[in-house]
């Protein structure tokens, strides 16, 4: 494959490589991040970075690339994710990076191969310039697997003790610095019944009827309770029943029913306490109800006054919040403050005709150029 000559060609290369997250219904058999990881690793290796492909799951690696000077005074990182969401239902060829009307189309063009291409191209220009020899910053480029389902790549990196003075998790934020977003806490809730022939329902116990009462408690009591405690940046935690399933046949009284509840939680919420709150409230109305924690991705709340965060906000379009969650919340902490930033709009992410404006891509590349220069000046 010929080397890209500009950031647009680089993004076309990235979009053309399928890297669909395999969870759920991916819509293609071309799943996993291996090929994408190898491309990004090779791109950075050719710039002289020390690069490792760290397998998190079979065929699903993280890329960890390092440009380390002899005496660094700061450690800064970029951290896009390699995977995309499903391509099922797309109205355009997902891996054909066509350009028309000033837009580059394809799965991942906005989320988040566009922001990744912009940062990679800015890093390339820095690495091939005289500024690299004068650098006092340890630059790390991380490309993480599994962000779209479970944040597994970020969790693996965090468990290794990765630290930095600031990590830029690349997402389409219109170049605003996202310092806070809600976390995602997913619950499985099941009710049990007693199966019998549908012609004699009085001999059984209908689990779907029991779930109806569960839904009433969630809507009328639990959701209003969540709304009573607000975070200054993010507002209140929320809950949404996203799926429901129960029964096996029309003429059988169902002995089980299941719902999945998506709670978007603010900083300060303790996962087990929220699960137990659901269980206590529901058990008071329905016997035998079970509430299981399926997944928890923590919220993000990074201090905007931290020196490197403040510098970034000055270079970018100020600070903002987001309703979605990201790898930043998994990585962020005292030893690794993290924020989200990148070109493009989240409105185009996950859509059936996903695209990024070429003007946004170029603007993002220019922003990352400025950020690298400003950071180098601050660290000198």
Positions of the chain with pLDDT lower than 50, given as ranges: none
Query: How far apart are the C-alpha atoms of 353 and 7, rounded to whole Å?
Result: 21
pLDDT for the residue numbered 274 = 98
Q: What is the pTM of this model?
A: 0.90
Nearest to 114 by CA among 59, 27, 173: 173
Edge to edge, the sheet with strand 256-265 lists 238-246, 256-265, 183-192, 290-297
> Over the stretch 93-126, which tens digit does the pLDDT of each residue have?
999 999 999 999 999 999 999 999 999 999 999 9
Query: How far apart are the C-alpha atoms of 331 and 151, rounded to whole Å?
Result: 10
pLDDT for the residue numbered 1 = 61
- Supply φ then ψ for residue 66, to 5 degrees: -130, 130
Q: What SS3 class is residue 297?
A: strand
Query: How far apart are the C-alpha atoms of 86 and 352, rounded to whole Å?
Result: 10
pLDDT for the residue numbered 2 = 80
pLDDT for the residue numbered 284 = 96
Query: How far apart are the C-alpha atoms of 43 and 121, rounded to whole Å?
Result: 10
Token pair 């499985």 in the structure block, residue: 188
pLDDT for the residue numbered 337 = 98
pLDDT for the residue numbered 292 = 98
| Contact call for residues 196 and 203 (beta carbons, < 8 A) | yes
Residues 6+ apart with CB under 8 A from 164: 75, 76, 77, 140, 336, 337
Convert the chain into a string of H (helix), E (strand) and C (coil).
Answer: CCCCCCHHHHHHHHHHCCCECCCCCCCCCCECCHHHHHHHHHHHHCCCCEEEEEEEECCEEEEEEEECCCCCCEEEEEECECCECCCCCCCCCCCCCCEECCEEECCCCCCCHHHHHHHHHHHHHHHCCCHHHHCCEEEEEEEECCCCCCCHHHHHHHHCCCCCCEEEEECCCCCCEEEEECEEEEEEEEEECECCECCCHHHCECHHHHHHHHHHHHHHHHHHHHCCCEECCCEECEEEEEEEEECCCCCECCCEEEEEEEEEECCCCCHHHHHHHHHHHHHCCCCCCEEEEEEEECCEECCCCCHHHHHHHHHCCCEEEECCCCHHHHHCCCCCCEEEECCCCHHHCCCCCCEEEHHHHHHHHHHHHHHHHHHHHHHC
Q: What percent of the chain has pLDDT over 90?
A: 97
Write down the domain spans for the chain.
Answer: 7-181+299-379, 183-297
pLDDT for the residue numbered 19 = 98
CATH class of 183-297: alpha beta
Q: Please check whether the domain covering 7-181+299-379 is classified as CATH 2.60.40.420.
A: no
């Amino acid at each position: 494959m010929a080397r890209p000559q500009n950031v647009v060609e680089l993004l076309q290369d990235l979009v053309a490589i399928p890297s669909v997250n395999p969870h759920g219904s991916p819509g293609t058999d071309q799943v996993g991040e291996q090929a994408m990881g190898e491309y990004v690793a090779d791109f950075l290796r050719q710039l002289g970075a020390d690069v490792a492909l760290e397998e998190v799951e079979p065929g699903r690696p993280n890329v960890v690339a390092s440009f380390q000077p002899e005496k660094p005074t700061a450690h800064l990182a970029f951290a896009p994710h390699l995977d995309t969401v499903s391509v099922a239902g797309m109205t355009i060829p997902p891996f054909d990076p066509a350009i028309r009307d000033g837009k580059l189309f394809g799965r991942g063009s906005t989320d988040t191969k566009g922001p990744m291409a912009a940062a990679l191209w800015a890093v390339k220009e820095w690495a091939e310039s005289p500024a690299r020899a004068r650098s006092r910053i340890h630059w790390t480029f991380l490309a993480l697997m599994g962000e779209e389902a479970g944040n597994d790549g970020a969790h693996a990196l965090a468990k290794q003790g990765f630290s930095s003075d600031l990590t830029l998790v690349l997402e389409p934020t219109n170049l605003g610095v996202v310092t806070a977003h809600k976390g995602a806490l997913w619950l499985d809730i099941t009710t049990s019944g007693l199966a019998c022939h549908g012609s004699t329902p009085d001999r059984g116990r209908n689990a779907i009827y029991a779930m109806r009462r569960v839904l009433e408690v969630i809507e009328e009591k639990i959701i209003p309770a969540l709304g009573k405690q607000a975070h200054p940046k993010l507002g209140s935690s929320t809950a949404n029943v996203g799926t429901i399933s129960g029964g096996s046949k029309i003429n059988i009284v169902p002995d089980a029913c299941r719902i999945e509840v998506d709670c978007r939680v603010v900083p300060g919420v303790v996962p087990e306490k929220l699960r137990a709150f659901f269980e206590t409230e529901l058990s008071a109305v329905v016997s035998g109800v079970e509430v299981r924690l399926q997944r928890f991705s923590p919220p993000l709340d990074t201090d905007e006054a931290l020196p490197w965060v403040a510098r970034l906000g000055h270079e970018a379009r100020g600070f903002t919040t987001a309703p979605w969650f990201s790898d930043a919340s998994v990585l962020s902490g005292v030893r690794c403050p993290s924020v989200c930033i990148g070109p493009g709009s989240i409105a185009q992410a996950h859509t059936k005709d996903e695209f990024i404006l070429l003007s946004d891509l170029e603007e993002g590349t220019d922003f990352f150029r400025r950020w690298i220069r400003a950071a180098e000046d601050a660290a000198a």
